Amino acid sequence: MRILAINPGSTSTKIAVFNNIEDIFTKTLRHSVDELAEFPRIINQYEFRKRIIINSLENASIQLNSLDAIVGRGGLIKPIPGGVYRVNDLMIEDIRKELLGEHASNLGAILAKELAEESGKKIGAFIVDPVVVDEMHDLARFSGHPELPRISIFHALNQKAVSRRFAREKKLDYNNLNLIVVHLGGGITVGVHKNGKVIDVNNGLDGDGPFSAERTGSLPVGALVRLCFSGKYEINEIRKMITGKGGLVAYLNTNNAFEIEERIRSGDKYAETVFQAMEYQISKEIGACAAVLNGDVDAILITGGLANSSLLVNWIKKRTSFIAPIYVYPGEDEMKALAEGVYYALTGEIPINEYK
C-alpha cells in the first residue's frame, strides 16, 4: 500500500511517501515570503502548493496514479472525536469558512482531495486526528466561569499515534487501556486516555497546564488581569508573552533543551532550577491526570522533541514512576503518524469515519 502524507506549515510543506508504514521518500518544500505574499489568504495557496508537490514527486519518479491513499494534516474544522476521517465536501466547505480560524494546516485536507482527484483513479483522501479532536468528559470542560469553558486543543496526532503504537507493541487494545500521555514540545500537553478517548487534557496552545519551552502554561489569574490592564502592554504583546515568549524562553532566553543541559553541566544553578521547575509542573500535571483515572493507570507515555532530554525525562520518572510504568517515545514523527493512521484504517484495524 503506497501512501502520500502531506503536512502544510506556514512557510513549508512536508511530504512523505510510505510503502505500508515504511518511509521511502521524504522532502520539505520551502516557500519564501515573496512566493506567499501574492496570496491574500492561506486558503488561496493550495493550487501553488499542489503544483510544487506534484513536481517534487515527479522528480522522484513517483506518479500520483501509483498511490493508494493520500492523507493530509487535519486543520481547524469542527471539534470531532479522534480517528481517521475521509475528506468529504462538507469538510472542505467548513475549512473554507475558517470556522475556527486561518491556519496552514487547513490546506491538508484540500491538498489531499485535490491530488486524489488529479491522480485519475479512485484514491482515498483522509485526515487523521486533527488538533480539534474533542473527547473531553463533561466535568473537564468546567473552568470556574461559564464564559471561559476549558476546550480541547492538544497534540492529538502524536498522542494518539504513540498510544496506538504502545498498544500494538504490548499486544493490547488501546480501547481497553488507561494511559497518561505527555507530549513535550514547544508546547506541552498531558492527556488522560481512557478506553481510547482523551477525556481530559490541558490546552497547551494558549495558557493551561505546565510551562514549556515557549509557553507560560497556567498563570496566576489575578496577576495576569492586573498586568493586562496596567497599560504596559498591548493585547498582541500579552498573547506573544503567553505563546512564543513564555516558559524557558522567558526565563533563560532559549528554547533549546540541549543548550540548557550544557549550561547546567557548566554549573549554571539558575538554569537547573528553571528546568527542574518545568519538570515539577509536568509531574504535577501527571499526578492530576492520575487522579482523574482514580489511580488506575496502565502506563505513562512520554513523547515529543523534549523527550530526547534524558535529564528532563529522568527527573519526571523519579517523581512519577510510583503511578505506573513509564515508556519514552522521543520525537514527533507527524508524517509517520499520518501514514500509520491511514494504513491501519485501510487494513481494518481502526474505523474510517465520516465527517458530519
More confident: 184 or 10:
184
| Interval 21-44: pLDDT, tens | 999 999 999 998 888 889 988 899
Q: What is the mean pLDDT of the chain?
A: 95
| Interval 43-56: pLDDT, tens | 999 999 999 999 99
Give the model's pLDDT for residue 176: 98
- Among 247, 262, 237, 129, which residue's Cα sits nearest to residue 185? 247
> How is residue 116 written as a grid cell?
486524489
Q: Please answer whether residues 150 and 136 qualify as being in contact, where contact means their C-beta atoms are separated by less than 8 angstroms.
A: yes
Q: How far apart are CA 64 and CA 67, in angstroms?
A: 6
More confident: 131 or 231:
231
**HEC assignment per residue over the chain:** CEEEEEEECCCEEEEEEEECCEEEEEEEEECCHHHHHCCCCHHHHHHHHHHHHHHHHHHCCCCHHHCCEEEEECCCCCCECCCEEECCHHHHHHHHHCCCCCCHHHHHHHHHHHHHHHCCCCCEEEEECCCCECCCCHHHHCCCCCCCCCCCCCCHHHHHHHHHHHHHHCCCCHHHCEEEEEEECCCEEEEEEECCEEEEECCCCCCCCCCCCCECCCCCHHHHHHHHCCCCCCHHHHHHHHECCCHHHHHHCCCCHHHHHHHHHCCCHHHHHHHHHHHHHHHHHHHHHHHHCCCCCCEEEEEEHHHHCHHHHHHHHHHHCCCCCEEEEEECCHHHHHHHHHHHHHCCCCCEEECC
Report the pLDDT averaged over residues 104-127: 93
| Interval 85-98: pLDDT, tens | 999 999 999 999 88
Q: Please answer whether residues 177 and 299 qualify as being in contact, where contact means their C-beta atoms are separated by less than 8 angstroms.
A: yes
Q: Please answer whether residues 96 and 31 qualify as being in contact, where contact means their C-beta atoms are separated by less than 8 angstroms.
A: no
What's phi and psi for 287, nearest 5 deg?
-60, -40
Beta bridge partners of 29: 13
Give the model's pLDDT for residue 178: 98
> How is residue 17 written as a grid cell?
511517501
Q: Please answer whether residues 157 and 334 qualify as being in contact, where contact means their C-beta atoms are separated by less than 8 angstroms.
A: yes
- Among 158, 120, 154, 109, which residue's Cα sits nearest to residue 7? 109
Q: Please answer whether residues 62 and 17 qualify as being in contact, where contact means their C-beta atoms are separated by less than 8 angstroms.
A: yes
- Among 198, 156, 200, 157, which residue's Cα sits nearest to residue 177? 198
Q: What separation in angstroms does the CA of 60 have from each of 13, 87, 109, 278?
A: 16, 26, 23, 43
Give the model's pLDDT for residue 76: 87
> How is residue 3 written as a grid cell?
501512501
Domains of the chain with CATH codes: 2-134+335-354 (3.30.420.40), 157-331 (3.30.420.40)
Q: What separation in angstroms does the CA of 203 have from each of 62, 155, 300?
A: 39, 9, 19
Q: Please answer whether residues 162 and 199 qualify as being in contact, where contact means their C-beta atoms are separated by less than 8 angstroms.
A: no
Rounded to two decimals, what is the model's pTM? 0.91
Q: How far apart are CA 53 and CA 26, in angstroms?
A: 11
| Interval 263-318: pLDDT, tens | 999 999 999 999 999 999 999 999 999 999 999 999 999 999 999 999 999 999 99
> How is residue 93 written as a grid cell?
466547505
Rounded (5°) CA angle 182-200-169: 45
At a CB cut-off of 8 Å and minimum separation 6, what does 294 contact?
none
Report the pLDDT averaged over residues 148-162: 93
Determine what percent of the chain is predicted with pLDDT higher than 90.
87
